[in-house]
Chains A and B, each alone.
Chain A
């Protein structure tokens, strides 16, 4: 059950999408999000959808995995949909009874909003599914590099993110194990009122925190043993270098943006 949380999970593979430079993928994600928020009209959304579908197909990530990752967000999606459906003012009234009126504009807007969030999340999943956490933080560090001039601790931040991403699955596994162990002693997490349920969390949280601190301690020792002392003068084993395929990807990104803006300017 807890295992189904796929946040930050990486599906190893060797597709063209996997092989792209992490920086390219990060930039492309930003480009995609910008395009997504500029898009309006059926054609623009069609293009955005087709682009994502093609990228997913090329990446060989099973669609099931992306759908499964979506599950925890169903509530937000429904909420957004309903909010837009009922609270958009418009002229063409479709349904009207009591205090509720549904307009055509509202319906269209609700669909667009939900599709927009779905595409946004799918694109983000695609990034984390095809990029290992290490590559991702390397990419981020390199992209944010210029901010070092402003005395921002870019290396430290990216290292923290890398460690956090790395330990999410470990902590989930650990939680699963502790939950099983307490269940074996008769702990009950599924029944009782709110107060009882909150109390039932103590036997999980205390061991979980203790083990997290223990892990942090061990990790710090291990890093110190390897003479880690921050980013200054640190060299990389895998140097990031843009290749031809990255420039192709950028080309596609520019085309995508151009298409969306052109459609927008024609009011389609």
Chain B
């Protein structure tokens, strides 16, 4: 056990070093741009002052850089959804502040409304919010609320539909005639059509089959690439966030327990397990291999695992 802890710690240090090196050589990191979102000492209490008082967020602080893909993980009821609803001004912090581009979103009523358009939030099970007669009209709801011109709305609807793979014929049918997965795509397109700089998705793949899941994750990734948008995705699938996210926020009991690269976070596998969280299956396998004494490093994606195994085989055949 002790040996194990030491090894984790070593690999954690090594990863950190490796990371710093990466950062230094990355040209984008050199010019210091202000973070797009800053969350400072956020606290949220539901039903304050009643017997049902419940602290859902406590002392949460972090900042989000432009173009990042952030995964948010945490056990059920840890406050992930609550946190996400603060980022676009749907919930008002009990204390603390949210800065969008350096400005407090609650400082001015106009700014709060603007933040809804600049930070797009896709709720858990978003298909239940569809209401229009046609898919086209539903996707157009957000842009219409922004007060855009007819041509601009049309362009955005078609572009958003393109991102999520809704065909032109499907735009004219009723959203209620679509399958569950398609409905979800329409709902996501409804938010993408506002062209938010930050796109937040609360468990976008919950309740979908593997094909549907992959499809939606690919849609999100393609939106990020096309618009250089910032993505925050809440997910219970460790392997999804491990594969896609550059950074992970781990929520536990209303606190932000960890904040780091997947490498850093999954290096603390035991802590995650103690929090009642999962780690990617492949990480689990390699943890076991380490325990069995094989000279492998911590991995969290299949590619890394293949690399490690190939290296291992190379060493064996060389010897």
Spell out A's residues near B (CB within 8 Å).
3, 11, 62, 64-65, 68, 177-178, 180-188, 202-203, 206-207, 210-211
Beta-carbon nearest neighbor of B190 in chain A: A185
Neighbouring A residues of B113 by C-beta, 8 Å: 186, 188
- Which of A62, A180, A184 is most buried by chain B, counting CB atoms within 10 A of its CB? A184
Determine the distance from Cα of A184 to Cα of B142 in the docked complex, in whole angstroms. 8
Contact B146 A186 (CB under 8 A): yes
Beta-carbon nearest neighbor of A209 in chain B: B131
Contact A207 B130 (CB under 8 A): yes
Beta-carbon nearest neighbor of B129 in chain A: A181
Spell out B's residues near A (CB within 8 Å).
47, 49-51, 85, 88, 90, 113, 116-117, 120-123, 126, 128-131, 141-142, 145-146, 176, 190-191, 194
Determine the distance from Cα of A203 to Cα of B116 in the docked complex, in whole angstroms. 17
Shortest Cβ distance from residue A6 to the other chain B in the assembled complex, whole angstroms? 9
Determine the distance from Cα of A182 to Cα of B175 in the docked complex, in whole angstroms. 16
User: By DSSP majority rule, is chain A's interface helix, strand, loop, or mixed?
Assistant: helix
Neighbouring A residues of B126 by C-beta, 8 Å: 181
Beta-carbon nearest neighbor of A182 in chain B: B129
Beta-carbon nearest neighbor of A185 in chain B: B142
Residue of A177, A178, A184, A210 near B116 (CB, 8 A) is: A184
Q: Contacts A3-B47, A11-B51: A184 and B191 contacting too (C-beta < 8 A)?
A: yes
Contact B131 A211 (CB under 8 A): no
Shortest Cβ distance from residue B156 to the other chain A in the assembled complex, whole angstroms? 13
Residue of B50, B51, B145 near A185 (CB, 8 A) is: B145
Determine the distance from Cα of A203 to Cα of B137 in the docked complex, in whole angstroms. 12
Determine the distance from Cα of A214 to Cα of B237 in the docked complex, in whole angstroms. 28
Neighbouring B residues of A177 by C-beta, 8 Å: 123, 128
Determine the distance from Cα of A3 to Cα of B122 in the docked complex, in whole angstroms. 22
Contact A184 B120 (CB under 8 A): yes
A-B contacts, 7 of them at CB < 8 A, read: A62-B51, A65-B50, A177-B123, A182-B129, A183-B90, A183-B116, A184-B120
Shortest Cβ distance from residue A62 to the other chain B in the assembled complex, whole angstroms? 6
Contact B145 A184 (CB under 8 A): no
Neighbouring B residues of A188 by C-beta, 8 Å: 113, 145
Contact B123 A181 (CB under 8 A): yes
Determine the distance from Cα of A182 to Cα of B141 in the docked complex, in whole angstroms. 9
Contact B51 A184 (CB under 8 A): no
Beta-carbon nearest neighbor of B46 in chain A: A3
Beta-carbon nearest neighbor of B123 in chain A: A181
Residue of B51, B123, B131, B194 near A203 (CB, 8 A) is: B131
Determine the distance from Cα of A210 to Cα of B49 in the docked complex, in whole angstroms. 34
Determine the distance from Cα of A9 to Cα of B123 in the docked complex, in whole angstroms. 27
Contact B116 A186 (CB under 8 A): yes
Residue of A64, A180, A203 near B50 (CB, 8 A) is: A64
Determine the distance from Cα of A211 to Cα of B176 in the docked complex, in whole angstroms. 12
Determine the distance from Cα of A65 to Cα of B51 in the docked complex, in whole angstroms. 9
Determine the distance from Cα of A203 to Cα of B90 in the docked complex, in whole angstroms. 17
Determine the distance from Cα of A210 to Cα of B177 in the docked complex, in whole angstroms. 13
Beta-carbon nearest neighbor of A62 in chain B: B51
Determine the distance from Cα of A207 to Cα of B127 in the docked complex, in whole angstroms. 9
